[in-house]
C-alpha cells in the first residue's frame, strides 16, 4: 500500500514559501489597478482559487476514468479527495468573487457575467457529489457510481462554460484568453506566482487528506488483525470511500 506522506514536508514548506512570496508580491510589489484600486488585489486570490478548483474537478474526473478502467478502488479515493478539495476551493473562490463583485460592481451577485454563473452551476452540480455518495450503501457500488458522476461532472465543466459564455456578454475581465494574456508584466508575474501557490496548496492538501485517509484504513486493518472482525466497531456509513 502506498503512503502519501512521502515528500509531504518538503511540499508543505514549498507551498508555504510560494504563498508567502505571492502575498508579498500582491501587497508590496504589484502596482495598484488604475480603475479599481486596492480591491483589485483580491483578484490574485480569487482567480487562482477558481482555476485550481475547476482543474480539481477535471482531475477528479480523470481519476474516475482511471478507476473505471483499472477497477482499482484507490483511484476512487483519489478522485473523491480531488473533488472534495476542489469543492472547498470552489466555495472559497465564490466567496472571494462575491466580495470583489460587491466592491467593484456594487452587487454581491451579478447575473450578466457568464464566468460567475457557469461557475455557480458547476458548483451546484458538484455539491450533490457528497449526498449522492452518502445515499448509496454498498461501498463497491458507491465507488462505481461516484466515478460515473465524476466523469459526467468533469466533462460538464468545459461544456457548461461554452454554453453559458455564449449566452451573455462579457462583464468579467478576460485574464487569460487563447490569444495570450491581457495583463501587464508585473501583474502577470504576481498572478502566475499566486496561481502556482494556490495550485501547490491544492496538491499539498490533497496529499494530506490522502495520507490521513490511508493511515486510517491501515490502522483499521491492523486493528482487525489484532482484535478479529467481531470486536471491531462497524464502519459508519459515510460519503468517503472505505477501501
Partner 1 sequence: MKTALAVLRKDLLLELRTLETIPAMALFSITTFVIFHFGLNRPTVDGQLAAGVLTVTLLFAGILGVNRLFVAEREQGGFDAFLLAPVDRSALLVAKAGALFLFLLALEVIAVPAFSLLLLGPSLGPALPSMIAVLALADLGIAVIGTLVSALAVQTRARDVIGPVIGLPLLIPALIATARALGPLLGAHGPAALPGKWLLILALYDLVFALIAYAVFDFLLED
* Interacting residues with partner 1 (CB under 8 A): 68, 121-122, 124-125, 128, 131-132, 135-137, 141, 144-145, 147-149, 151-152, 155-156, 159-160, 162-164, 166-167
Q: Could you tell me the smallest distance in angstroms from the CB atom of residue 213 to partner 1?
A: 22
Alpha-carbon distances, residue 87 vs 13, 22, 92, 123, 204 (angstroms): 24, 23, 9, 7, 15
* Shortest separation between residue 25's beta carbon and partner 1, angstroms: 36
Nearer to partner 1, 30 or 143 (CB): 143
Instruction: Assess contact for 181 and 175: CB atoms under 8 A.
Output: yes
Helix (H) or strand (E) holding 180: strand 180-181
Pairing relationship of beta strands 180-181 and 176-177 according to DSSP bridges: antiparallel
Alpha-helix residue ranges (DSSP H) falling in 128-241: 129-134, 139-167, 185-227
Q: Which is nearer to partner 1, 68 or 99 (CB)?
A: 68
- Closest among 33, 31, 13 to 21, alpha carbons compared: 13
- Tell the smallest beta-carbon distance from residue 64 to partner 1 (Å): 9
- The CB density around residue 80, as the number of other CB atoms within 10 Å, is 28
Closest to partner 1 by CB, 22 or 123 = 123
- Which residue, 1 or 166, is less far from partner 1 as judged by CB? 166
**Closest separation between CB of residue 202 and partner 1, Å?**
23
Q: Which of 227, 207, 73, 92 is nearest to 142 (CA)?
A: 73
Shortest distance in whole angstroms from residue 132 CB to partner 1? 6
Amino acid at each position: 500500500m502506498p503512503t502519501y506522506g512521502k515528500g509531504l514536508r518538503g511540499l508543505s514548506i514549498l507551498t508555504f514559501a510560494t504563498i508567502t512570496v505571492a502575498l508579498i508580491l500582491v501587497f508590496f510589489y504589484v502596482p495598484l489597478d488604475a480603475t479599481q484600486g486596492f480591491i483589485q488585489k483580491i483578484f490574485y486570490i480569487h482567480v487562482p482559487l477558481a482555476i485550481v478548483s475547476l482543474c480539481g474537478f477535471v482531475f477528479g474526473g480523470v481519476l474516475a476514468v482511471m478507476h473505471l478502467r483499472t477497477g482499482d478502488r484507490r483511484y476512487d479515493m483519489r478522485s473523491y479527495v480531488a473533488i472534495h478539495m476542489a469543492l472547498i476551493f470552489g466555495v472559497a473562490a465564490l466567496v472571494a468573487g462575491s466580495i470583489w463583485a460587491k466592491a467593484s460592481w456594487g452587487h454581491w451577485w451579478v447575473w450578466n457575467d457568464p464566468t460567475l454563473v457557469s461557475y455557480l452551476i458547476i458548483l451546484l452540480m458538484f455539491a450533490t457529489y457528497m449526498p449522492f455518495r452518502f445515499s448509496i450503501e454498498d461501498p463497491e457500488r458507491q465507488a462505481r457510481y461516484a466515478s460515473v458522476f465524476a466523469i459526467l461532472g468533469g466533462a460538464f465543466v468545459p461544456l457548461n462554460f461554452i454554453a453559458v459564455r455564449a449566452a451573455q456578454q462579457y462583464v468579467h475581465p478576460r485574464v487569460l484568453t487563447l490569444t495570450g494574456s491581457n495583463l501587464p508584466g508585473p501583474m502577470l508575474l504576481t498572478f502566475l506566482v499566486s496561481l502556482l501557490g494556490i495550485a501547490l496548496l491544492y496538491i499539498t492538501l490533497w496529499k494530506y487528506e490522502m495520507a490521513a485517509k490511508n493511515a486510517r484504513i491501515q490502522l483499521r486493518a491492523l486493528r482487525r488483525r489484532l482484535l478479529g472482525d467481531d470486536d471491531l466497531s462497524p464502519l459508519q456509513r459515510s460519503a468517503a470511500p472505505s477501501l
